[in-house]
Homo-oligomer: A and B are copies of this chain.
Amino acid sequence: MRVRVDLKVEEMPKYWYNVLADLPFKLDPPLDPRTKQPISPQALSAIFPEALIEQEVSEKREIPIPEPVLREYAVFRPTPLYRATYLEEYLQTPARIYYKYEGASPTGSHKTNTALAQAYYNKISGTKRLVTETGAGQWGSALCYAGAKFGLTVNVFMVRISYEQKPMRKYLMKLFGGDVVPSPSDRTNFGRSLLEKNGDMPGSLGIAISEAIEVAVSDPGTKYSLGSVLNHVLLHQTVIGLEIKKQLALLNETPTIVLGCHGGGSNFAGTILPFVPDKLAGKNIRLIACEPTACPSLTKGRYEYDYGDTAGMTPLLKMYTLGKDFIPPKIHAGGLRYHGAAPIVSRLLKEGLIEAVAFDQEEVFNAARLFAKLEGIVPAPESSYAIYGAIKEALRAKEEKKEEVIVFNLSGHGLFDLIAYVS
């Protein structure tokens, strides 16, 4: 029979976990794109509110989740942890497989965890409007929802080709009062300059970021919001891993393998960072990032300073990168199409504290279809990389006749991506 562990609302973590407090090394600082020197917090204040800049550099281990954010987390958190009973039986594996389900959030992915926090901190700092970019729309819809909750206007620059071909999340953003335009747009100098050259330009995440930043710096009441990569974004996502720890403890389970899919790093880090102290303490635990072979930042990238966007407007981050000009093929997992990786994740990989693997889309989608039929949840194309990783480990455990306790994060549902499953 199904095992499902529900925490009570009162058991929700009251703080985010900051791994920087426990690491035996310091991260290389972000560099100012103009001077190539470490960027000052003040230089960031044109686009981010004070509280988030503080979190970006904080070394406090536990950062309290503000009461209004907790209240909004409680709309959908704690999220359930399932034992994949039906999948285990199918695989005939001695491994026990668990998954955390973040797809039950209001916009269908883990992105709301940081969207709500960012909207809150902006609101109390006097921000009137948030501006951001989105590809397929997971992040954009999360921020629109958060904006509706905290009374902020949200402008989203959505990559034009997604805006036209994937209308569902655009509707979701509009339902939550968001103002969504296809990028490149005529709202910015940069967008207009591109449209003049080519009115049909399909756009890219890099272009959309540039448009969003242009809007943010041009208006004091407007701030920019980012859905992954940065330390404070990963911090907010640790609520996932903290809940997993509590849920596994209720089952008296100790995980030996924890997996997440990896794009910019926020869901992966949110899942595994709370387990890093166990790894540092020498416990038997492997932390594995699963990425597409089509965009193999961690497995094929170089560890060096690079820009976060294509246009080169952002600070330079020390990370595994395929180069800011790398254009990933159009795989279904739009959320994993990022040339770089979070600096925290990159450094953990460099230090050997985590592992990274890359999978082909076809094998991943076969696993996703199987999972949907067995477990009754249609996974997001992105999350399916973690599913496939878990299945591979479960089959290895079977071959080696080894008991493993495998946990992965099912970061979102795939109901808006169904066509990818049947095409």
Spell out A's residues near B (CB within 8 Å). Answer: 1-4, 6, 9, 70-71, 74-76, 86, 104-106, 108, 145, 148-149, 167-168, 171-172, 174-177, 369, 372-373, 375-378, 415-416, 418-419, 421-422
Contacts and interface: CB of A to CB of B under 8 A. Distances in A.
Nearest to A67: B1
Given A76-B376, A104-B104, A376-B145, A2 B6 contact: no
A117 B76 CA distance: 30
Across the A-B interface, give the 5 residue pairs with the lowest CB-CB distance, nearest first: A106-B376, A2-B74, A171-B418, A75-B376, A6-B6
Contact of A75 (B2, B149, B175): B2
Nearest to A175: B421
Contacts of A369: 175
Q: Mostly helix, strand, loop or mixed at chain A's interface?
A: helix
A106 B174 CA distance: 26
Given A415-B168, A418-B168, A378 B74 contact: no
5 contacts: A2-B74, A75-B375, A174-B422, A175-B369, A176-B372
A372 B175 contact: yes
A2 B8 CA distance: 10
Contact of A415 (B148, B415, B422): B415
Nearest to A6: B6
Given A1-B9, A106-B372, A149-B373, 17 more contacts: A1-B74, A2-B9, A6-B6, A105-B376, A145-B373, A145-B376, A168-B168, A168-B418, A171-B421, A174-B421, A175-B369, A175-B373, A175-B378, A175-B418, A176-B372, A176-B373, A415-B415
Contacts of A76: 376
Contact of A175 (B1, B149, B422): B422
Given A2-B75, A3-B9, A171 B86 contact: no
A182 to B, nearest CB: 16
A202 B309 CA distance: 48
A86 B145 CA distance: 14
